[in-house]
Every structure is written in C-alpha cells, then in structure tokens.
Chains A and B, each alone.
Chain A
Amino acid sequence: MIGSVGVVKVGIAQMDVAKAPDRIRTSGLGSCVGVVLYDESKQVAGLIHVMLPDSQLGRSDSINVAKFADTGIPAMIDQLKQEGIQPFKLKAKIAGGAQMFQFTSSRDSMRIGPRNVEAVKLQLKKFSIPLIAEEIGGSSGRTIEFDPQTAKLNIRTVNQGVKDI
C-alpha cells in the first residue's frame, strides 16, 4: 500500500469524490455553497461546489450539472451510487452561502448566498438526506476540507479562525 494521504481538490462549479484516507477540499467559498454527501460506514464522500440555486437560471444549451443545486445534488447521488453507496445511507454537511458585500440594492443576484443555501436544503429534503451540520451565511469566505474517515468538516476563515463541524 502507498501510505500518503491525498487531498482531492474541487474547483468552483465542480464536484468530485474521495475515499478514506484521502480528504476532499474546496477553497474560497463566498456566496457559493460546499455540499458534502458522505457515507460514514464506507468512508466515502462527495463534494459539490454549488454556484447557483437553480438550473432554470441557466441560459445555455448544455449545462454543467455541478454548478446548480438542483442538478448537482442528484448527479452526486448518482455518482456515489456507482461507487456502491446506497443513497439512504447518505448524510450531509454544508458550508458557505455568505454575503461578501453589503449592498443597498435589492437586485436578486445580490442575495445569491441565501438563495443557494435554500436550494441546497430543498434538494436534501427531496432526497431525504439528513443535514448533520451547517456553517452558513455571514460575510466571510470559507475554505472547507472533509475527512471521510472521521466525517468531520474542517472550516477555515480569514477572520474567525478554524473549526470542525
């Protein structure tokens, strides 16, 4: 066995899967939401870096499923199924959905963070995936890293230090 622990990196509007002992991470979440779906017993986790709430917002012919809450979560469930994970075993932890800038404007895109969080929660509910922990809202960017072995989500911010949920 090769003993080194890897970290799977997930970019904005992307998704991927990691198996213990590897961890999975995404950096610089602002209004985006990082959604971790994991199976504790099999120690496998998927991470989606959701950018927009609803694929109905998409105005192009081909869509990148990982970009939207309503397509990313079902796509990740499917991908985990292919890894032999049963959907009913999945649990979720989420982080992000901040408002990086305070504006007076009521423009809809200005409150994209809260809308992303609502859309993610709606999908979790739809697929009966229990939401075990969340660290959402506020006005700070977050870098998150999930360890499938411990099922802990490590969250780092610039001003509020580091914590596990």
Chain B
Amino acid sequence: MTFHNKITSLHLDVLKEIGNIGAAHAATALSSLLNTKIDMRVPKVEMVSFNDMMERGGGAEKVVAGIYLRIEGDAQGGMFFILPIEQANHFIQKLIRDDDFDFRKSPVSELGLSAMQELGNILSGSYLSALSDFTGLKIYPTPPALSVDMFGAIISFGLIEVSQVSDHVIVIDTTIYEEHMGDTETVRGHFFLLPDPDSFESIFRSLGVS
C-alpha cells in the first residue's frame, strides 16, 4: 500500500515546513533579482484529485509560464514554478528592461525566453538547495525546462509518476506575489512540489519522523 494512506498531521506539518523554507529562499532570490518586495503565503499541503490540481493553477486552460524540473537522488519528484502569463510578462519586462516584451507575441524574443529560463533556474535552485540543507537529503535537479502554455497541459506532465499509483497527489503548494500588487489569482506565482509516492518515507526519515 502506498504512503498516501498513512499520512498524519505531523507529516503534513513537516511537508509544510519544507515548502516554507524552500519558498522563502526563492522569494528572497526573486526579490533581489527584481529589486522589489516579494511576499509569500503559508504553504498549503494537501492530497488533491488530479482535477482539483487543475484548479490550483487557475484551471486547465489558463495560460501560464511553467518551469519544470525533475528531482533525482535520495528523494524524487517533480517541481514546478508557475506564473500567470501577465505576471511572467511583468517580471521579464523588468528583468530585460523591455516594456514591450510579451510571451503571447509570436515569435517570442529569445532574450525574454532565456531570461525566463534563468529566472526558473535561480528560483528552483534556491528552493531545492534550501530543501536539501534542511533535510540533509542529496538531491539532483535536472536542468529546468520552460513551457508557455495551458496550465493543464503543463502540470499533467508532473502527475505521470504518481498517476501510476493513485488518482490523487500530495502537493506542497507555496504562493509568492509582489507585495505592492497584493495576493490575487492574477499575479500569484506558485511553487508546486510533487514528491514521488515512494519518496515520502525518505523525506520523513531524513527529519526523524517515521
């Protein structure tokens, strides 16, 4: 039987702490990159159905910029950094100092794409190194890949592993947003950490929780 069935509130707290530490580091990195104040919300850790997962990102059809990488090593899983397209445009405009940059324009400027890729690199890197420091687990992220498309098409890729075991997924969901914009659906960026079902035991064991 899978670990999904044995999870307690203590386990959820541990996962929340992982989301907290990871996203705090990423928010700091983003803040210094963009020279703006970034806030984050208390992480949500829940077991959700695949279709509820779609709603987490604003619906299956919502257009987003998504960075995806796989985590290998002592713990395995998928990690996404998702930005609503308007917010991705805004961040990249700031980063490359080009107010006309738009992911929806075709062809998209190479500079903007590589800036987004780099942003994903830096943020997921800070999230995961904080996770690794906290747990002592050796984890090796694959190079992040970028896709600008429908949220459902992007996130479903990260559900492939867990879908072999279950129709539900445990998601560690942390949201970040620019302080002056407020925390609304349209500007919220999400970190979704989706550990593979087999990896929960190693995560909990690393923190002395069995």
Q: Show the binding face of A for B, using Cβ within 8 Å.
A: 11-14, 27-32, 51-52, 57-60, 64, 67, 98, 100-105, 107, 109, 112, 139-143, 158-159
Contact = CB atoms under 8 A, between A and B. Distances in A.
A103 B69 CA distance: 9
Given A28-B156, A32-B156, A51-B160, A143 B150 contact: yes
Interface residues of B, number: 33
B101 interface: no
B103 to A, nearest CB: 10
Interface in B11-48: none
Given A30-B152, A30-B153, A60-B165, 14 more contacts: A11-B54, A12-B50, A27-B61, A28-B153, A29-B156, A30-B149, A51-B156, A51-B159, A51-B163, A58-B164, A100-B154, A103-B145, A104-B143, A143-B61
B157 A100 contact: yes
B114 interface: no
Given A98-B153, A100-B149, A141-B154, A13 B163 contact: yes
Interface of B: 2, 50-51, 54, 59-61, 63, 68, 70, 106, 142-143, 145-154, 156-157, 159-161, 163-167
A141 B150 contact: yes
A29 B152 contact: yes
B194 to A, nearest CB: 13
5 contacts: A11-B54, A29-B156, A112-B157, A143-B61, A159-B149
B156 A31 contact: yes
A60 B163 CA distance: 10
Given A59-B165, A158-B149, A158-B150, A27 B60 contact: yes
B163 A141 contact: no
A159 B166 CA distance: 32
Secondary structure class of chain A's binding surface, majority of residues = loop
B59 to A, nearest CB: 7
Contact of B153 (A52, A105, A107, A141): A141
